[in-house]
Every structure is written in structure tokens, then in C-alpha cells.
Amino acid sequence: MSAPKEPGLKRSITLFAVIALGINGIIGQGIFLLPGKAADLLGPASLLSLGFAGLLSFLIALCFAEVASRFDSTGGAYLYARKAFGDFIGFEVGWMTCIVAFVSWASLATGFTVVLGVFVPEIRDGWAQKATAAGLITILTAVNLRGAKAGANLSTVFSMAKLVPIAAFIAVGVFYIEGQNFEPFAPKGWGGFADATLIILYAYVGFEVLVVPAGEMQNPQRNVPLALILVLSFVTVVYLLVLGVAVGTFEGLPGHDNPVAAASALFMGPAGATLIGIGIVVSVFGTNAGSALVGPRRFYALAERGDLPPILAKVNPETGAPVPAIIVNYIGAVSLSLTGSFAELAALAVLARFVQYIPTCIAVMVFRARPPEGSPATGFRLPLGPVLPVLTIGLCLILVFNSDPAKLLKGAIALAVGVPLYFLSRRFEWGTRASDPPDTGP
């Protein structure tokens, strides 16, 4: 008699929930807080750096869309790299996705205390700030222990709620734009274009979370590419409108820490500033909810394929929640939220994402030449042959090499830490190398 089948992840996430997860994963605090920093480098020309960051994100997302259309398993960039380049490269990419998981969540939880501190100043620093961040992580972990559907529902609610104040800011502010605020267009020249783009790119990172829980999505080979394209198109339009209103209405934009709220106070009054402030809080809370859902699935994906201890691939048979992976992600996020600052955590999280982006773009060409076993004969395919993935890789490398060397060093250290873990997984035979779940499924 055959052994009973291990319980697996449940396919409970709809297309609408996938789109909401993508919007929630991208629109966080970046678009509210970063325009001032970008404008300080480029002035109104920061609109072009935002457009360039959006173009790059869209190109990366298209590469993710083509590769994702070949899979329906949980894992995202880790799964793609493992299939395209073998165990070691796949492990290193997967390890960095795990680093991103709890580093990003810790930075978002810490950022939540900053934006909520506008209304409750006592939690902006000290023990109260750390307790608030840890408490937020604890609450969202408890929700996700109930299963992916509960976590996705929470993400969907906040995805919709955060769009209300953004829509109000754009709809009212567009009537108060003054043309002279766009002159001079590039008061400091173009030397800060790369730095401004890297800053603005933080407002876009997170779209890759959309592909991670594919094993819990309905019809992922269709829904993932479709959702990626729809989400990035929508977000780019929203971002350009928000920054355009901020530039056109607020002369004090360059260097301001909270420019969208400040601009709204000018044309909407104190009530408007309060509305936008509440919107920022809701937005950052929603992004935290998305991180709580996606982060543990990264650990689950590595454990499922034998790259981390198999206990992390265990799921609750009733809820389908990967409970041990959720707990590990919780411990890592809480620990970092208690020890690190938002700026330090965010810097490492952004750069670490390029370790996912670049291999996925290369995998587009690898899978065209050597399709993964069991992948569908038809799927989403980029036009122009290898032109778009090669262009995307080049743009990513330019931004990486224009990054702060100290941030690059931190990323290199994180990669190095993964090397002994890889050999430990082989030494203790945590999983069978051939045990990958099939690339196609129900």
C-alpha cells in the first residue's frame, strides 16, 4: 500500500487576488516618501527618472512573465534559476530571496512606525518603536497561520483601501498644478540621474512577489503573466500622476521627507493632509500584509526541493499554511526589526533583488533554447527575440555598478553566507535532487 500523500499548498488565490497582491506589494511608502529625495538630485527631471525606473521594472516584469508562464509551482525566481542554471546558482538566488523576505518585512514594519508616528509621536523611536514593529509582525503572522486565503484577503482589502487617498490626491491636486514649478527642469544637470533612478526604483520593487505563491494560485500559467503586465502598467501611471502633482504644486519638494502629505496640505488643507497621512499608514500596513503572505513561501520553496531542512516544507493539512516557514520568517523579521534601522534594511533589500532579476532575465533565453521538462508548448513570449531580455540585463548591470560600494559589499556578504548552507544541504541530504514538483499541475 502506498504511503499517504503529504498535504500540499491549496490553490485558493484568484486572479483578482493576484492583481491585488501585486498592487499591494509595489505601492507602499516609496511613492509617498521618495519624491523629495529624487527631486533633490534632479528637480522636476525626476519625472524622467521615475519613467525610466518604470520602464526597467516593466521590462523585468515581462521577463518574469515569460518565464513564469512555464511554471505553476511555488518559488518564483529561485525555481526559475534552479531549472535554468542548476542547483548551486538556484540555491544562491533562492537564499537571497529568503534574505529579501525577512529584511524587506523588517524594513516595512519599521517604516510603518515612522508613518504612524505622524499621529502617535511616541512610537517614532526607542523601545515603543521596536515594540510596535514587532507587534505588527506578530499580528500579521497570526493571520497567515490561518492559510493563504486569509492572508490574500487581507492583502486585497488594503490594496483597495490604499488607492482611495491616492486617487483623492491626484483628482484634487491636478487643478492646482503651476507650470513654473517645472522650471528649470534639471537645475543640477543630469549627473544624478542614476542615483535618482535607484532611489525611485525602491518604489517599484516588490512586483516579483506576485510570482512566488504560484503553487497556491488558480491557473497560474495564465494569471501570473497577465497580472504582472496589468499591475506594472497601472502602477506606473499612478506614480507619474502622483509625482507630477507633487512637482507642480509643492515648491519645497526637493529634500522633503514627506512631500506628498505636505503638498496635500497646501491644496486640501489640514483635513487633506490628515487624509493622505492616513492613506500612507494604510498603504504601508497593506504592504506589510503582502510581505507576511509571500515571505514564508520563499523558505517553503527551498525546503520543498531539499535546499533547506525539510521541516520548512511542512504544511498544516487543514489550512494549507506552511507553518514552520511562517515561524522562521517571523523570527527573522522580528529580530531585524529590533536591531536595524529602516534605511539600512531597505538598502540591502533593494540591491538583493537584482540577484533575482538578472538570472530570471537570462533564464528567458535559456528556456527558449532548452524548455523545462513538462512546460507547455505555448505561453507568454516576449517579442523581438533576445533583444528585450539582453537590454534588461544591461540596464540592471548599469544600475548595480552605479550603486554604493558599501551596499554591494553587504550583498556579497549575504551571498557568501549562503555557500556553506548549500554544502550543508548536500552533506545532510535534506532532500532528493530529483524531487522537484512537476512544472505543470491542476
Range(s) of the domain holding residue 170? 15-427
Q: Which three cell numbers stand for residue 118?
A: 505622524
pLDDT the model gives residue 244: 92
217: β partners: 13
pLDDT the model gives residue 137: 94
Whole-angstrom distance, CA of residue 132 vs CA of residue 138:
10
pLDDT the model gives residue 355: 82
pLDDT-based confidence at residue 327 (cuts at 50, 70, 90): very high
Across 299-307, average pLDDT: 82
Q: Is residue 438 part of a domain?
A: no
Is the pLDDT at 426 greater than 90? The verdict is no
Q: Based on the structure, what is the number of domains in the chain?
A: 1
Q: Is 414 helix (H, G, I), strand (E, B) or coil?
A: helix
pLDDT the model gives residue 286: 78
pLDDT-based confidence at residue 330 (cuts at 50, 70, 90): very high
The tens digit of pLDDT for each residue in 83-99 reads 899 889 988 888 888 88
Q: Is residue 222 part of a domain?
A: yes
Q: Which three cell numbers stand for residue 268?
A: 486640501
Q: Is residue 252 part of a domain?
A: yes
The tens digit of pLDDT for each residue in 48-71 reads 988 888 888 888 888 887 887 787
Give me the percent of the chain exceeding a pLDDT of 90.
Answer: 12
pLDDT the model gives residue 275: 79
pLDDT-based confidence at residue 434 (cuts at 50, 70, 90): very low
Q: What is the CATH number of the domain that holds 238?
A: 1.20.1740.10
pTM flag (> 0.95): no
Is the pLDDT at 433 greater than 50? The verdict is no
Whole-angstrom distance, CA of residue 37 vs CA of residue 203:
12
Whole-angstrom distance, CA of residue 371 vs CA of residue 358:
19
Which region among 172-176, 327-331, 413-417 has the lowest average model confidence (pLDDT)? 413-417
Residue where the block lists cell 515581462: 62
Q: Is residue 6 part of a domain?
A: no
Across 178-205, average pLDDT: 83
Is the pLDDT at 306 greater than 70? The verdict is yes
Highest mean predicted confidence (pLDDT) among 25-29, 137-141, 303-307: 137-141
What are the angstrom distances between the C-alpha of 284 and each of 230, 277, 398?
A: 21, 11, 30
pLDDT the model gives residue 435: 46
Q: Is residue 62 part of a domain?
A: yes
Q: Is residue 7 part of a domain?
A: no
DSSP state string for 125-159: SHHHHHHHHHHHHHHHHHHHTT-HHHHHHHHHHHH
Rounded to 5, what percent of the chain is helix, strand, coil? Answer: 75, 0, 25
